[in-house]
Structure 1
Amino acid sequence: MFLGRFWSSPGTKLFMDTGWQTIICRWGLHEIFPVVYCATEFQTVGREAATMEPRFILPQLCIVFTLSAFVIAAPADTLGPKVKRSDDTTLNSVQTLLQQQGAVIQRQESQLTLALNRLAALESLSHQQSLEISTLKNRLESTTRQVAFTVYFSADPIQDFGVHGILRFDHIVTNTANGYDAKTGIFTSPVSGLYVFHLDVMSVDNGLSVSINIIKNGVALDDAYASGGKRNDQGNSLVTIDLKAGEKVWTQHSYGSTSIRGSFLTVFSGFLIQAD
């Protein structure tokens, strides 16, 4: 029997003759595992070889295979330093770049949202200012616009215009803005504002007095009264009122005689003082 110790080398072959088969084992564990064995014969086959009895060599092979499996199954970081692959480095760089670009895009989106909000506020302000400008323009046009009229009857005297009848003055002296309608005897306000209306009425000498009202939208504001008798009498009325555009003013018989003097002896006038 031979008791020895050897270190395995690449390309080593062990031949075990069991009497019924030959086991050939080839491994590459170079100078890693010491093996203790017993052999009856030792001879070199190639670089190194040994022919041993199976009962001695088989346990040693089991040890070698077990240790080999341990080495193969061991984690990579226990066998040596971990080498960082270039692909991983590139991937990390791309991920970092994407994160940076995402942050930039997010900031730009926030700035865009802020700009859109400011634009909406400016548009709203512009619309409001446009409305104010339009209102001021209308006021300016109304202020500079002249509204006035003076009318009387072309005939004298005026006979029987009817109880509660509207006086339709047919002779127009002034009618700027065409507010007065001679066919109806009604003045329609072309613009809103403050107006003055004046009425002079002269009675005929038939012994009957007469009263003529100034009417706004069907409501009497004042009256001009002229007494009757053997001579003519003259009454007058003056009112200052606010009118909206489209509102109407006229003169209407209230009571008494239905005949009055005409021409410039009975006159109806009105004019705009200040537009709204």
Structure 2
Amino acid sequence: MTVIWFAFFLTICLPRTRANKDIETELNEIRKEIRELRMENQALGIIVKRQENEIRELHVRIENQDPRNDLDKTKGSPSDPNEMSEPSSISNRKRLVGTNSPIAFYAYMSKPEQNPSNHHMVIFDVIKTNVGGGYNGHSGMFTAPVAGIYVFTWTIYTGNHGRCGFGIYVNDNIMGSTFGETDDVAGDYDSDSGTIAVALNAHDDVYIRTLEACTTFIESIRVNTRTTFAGWKLN
């Protein structure tokens, strides 16, 4: 009788065990592919953003092209020399206004984010200040409207029972980082801040993303635990 039950176990249960292991292996492979696709999508988003900035820059160059190119077309037609020099004056004035205008932004996360994965973009979706329009609350990126020296500062709150690291990037280059760990202590929260000053070219992108898969969550819910990102141009 014992032999019969053992044969029954081998016939019925063992194949199911093997099938479950096969299913679990397939699920792990699918999860890995999903993580890789998310990373690829983020990288493609950065490339697309940069190409859009290059297109805008080309449009600006076309609009602000040397007015003497237009004056060459009007040679031979009678006109006042003072009127001919006016377009150049207006064009230069526009450039000066764009360069010297104040640029500053401040934003924070509206809610916590659970265990973000590696290379995850941190989105500060509540915009309180955005003078110059350089910050995008959907992508989490600041795009420099003009070249200059900029200062950026950030504060990230992380929850208990875990650790997480964050880096601030200019395009694809990391410029600074912060790291938080709460040593698996219940009710223990961590806040880490960083500040950098960096020279940017027009249309450079600045953003914050994770440096590792976080084993805890990003906190941002109350006034005293807001995860924030800010920056401004030095004049």
TM-score > 0.5 by shorter chain:
yes
With normalisation by structure 1, the TM-score equals 0.48
Give CA-to-partner distance per residue, 1:109-155, whole Å, 9 cap, x none.
Answer: xxxxxxxxxxxxxx9xx98xx87995576235421x12111111111
Other-structure match for 2:180:
226
Query: 2:167·2:175 contact (CA, 8 Å) conserved in 1?
Result: yes
Task: Deviation per CA, 1:168-218: give whole Å up to 9, x if none.
Answer: 111111111211111111111111111000011111012x12111000011
Unmatched runs of 5 consecutive residues or more in structure 2: 1-80
Q: Does 1:191 align with 2:146?
A: yes
Unmatched 5+ residue regions in structure 1? 1-122
Aligned pairs, number? 146
Residue pair 2:150, 2:232 contacting (<8 A) in 1 also: yes
Q: 1:235 maps to what in 2?
A: 192
Corresponding position of 2:67 = none
Matched to 2:204, the amino acid is E
- TM-score between both structures, scaled by the size of structure 2: 0.56
Greater CA radius of gyration, 1 or 2? 1
- Whole-Å separation in 2 of the counterparts to 1:133 and 1:182: 33
Does structure 2 retain, via aligned residues, the 8 Å contact 1:225–1:234? no
The one of 262, 270, 274 equivalent to 2:220 is 262
- The 4+ residue runs of structure 1 with deviation greater than 3 A are 130-137
Partner residue of 1:147 out of 94, 103, 125: 103
Percent of matched pairs sharing the same residue: 26
RMSD between aligned alpha carbons?
A: 2.4
Structure 2 residue identity aligned to 1:261: E
The SS at the match of 1:178 is: coil
Secondary structure of 1:138 counterpart: helix
Task: Select which of 206, 210, 230 maps to 1:249.
Answer: 206
More strand by share: 1
1 or 2, which has the higher helix percentage? 2
Matches of 1:242 and 1:194, distance apart in 2: 4
For 1:21-40, list aligned pairs within 5 A. none
Residue 165 of structure 1 corresponds to 120
Q: Deviations over 1:217-268 (max 9, x none)?
A: 1111000222223211111110101111111000010125262111452111
